[in-house]
Amino acid sequence: MTRCRFDARRAQAPGLPNTADRHRVMQFQTLLIEALHHGWYPLAPTASVATAEYFSVLTHLGRLLLRRHRAHEQRRKFRGPVANPLWEPSWLSSPTYAIEMLPVTDRFALMLLLGWWLDPWPEQFVTMCAMAQLTRADLSSGFPYAPAWYEAAVAQVAQSRCAGMQLVSYRTVSAVASSTVTSQLLL
């Protein structure tokens, strides 16, 4: 076994396979590096936000998917072309250093999921949050100074969930009403 002697060039680390997912993560990380350089992240084609705000949202959402309370359930709810609902981090980190303490392969999976979840903004975010049945409390808990653009998207999630619940309620009432009418016609 070779020791690295605190020289990263000597460290042995597993390589990531050359896949489409790897290229997506590399593109996302390239955008993040450019955002660090310029101070602005291109959130949407016509809007940029301060890099510090974007990183605070990324950190918050990463912790949402990693923290001990219901984290497995939250990750399981995501479905999509790059979201692996069976992904489990190697170990659970403390809430303060949830992302920083992850092994590289776990960070890769988390970055892949976060990059997919937030692009295009806010459509993908709102859709996936509503499908995963995330609440305003889920998305805002532990994030007292959330940026206004994030809060606006969270409000859209709450509205879409409310609209979805009204649609489900309408379908239930319609189904009950139609079965009542049908049963009365048969009598």
pLDDT band (50, 70, 90) for residue 154: very high
In DSSP notation, the chain reads: ----TT-GGG---PPPP--HHHHHHHHHHHHHHHHHHHSEEEEETTEEEEHHHHHHHHHHHHHHHHSTTTHHHHHHH--SSS--TT---SSPPPGGGTTTTS-HHHHHHHHHHHHHHTSSTTHHHHHHHHHTT--HHHHHTT-TT--HHHHHHHHHHHHHHHHHHHHHHHHHHHHHHHHHHHHHHH-
pLDDT score for 14: 62
pLDDT score for 170: 37
pLDDT at 107 over 60: yes
pLDDT score for 164: 56
Percentage of the chain exceeding pLDDT 70: 63
The residue ranges of every structural domain in the chain are 18-186
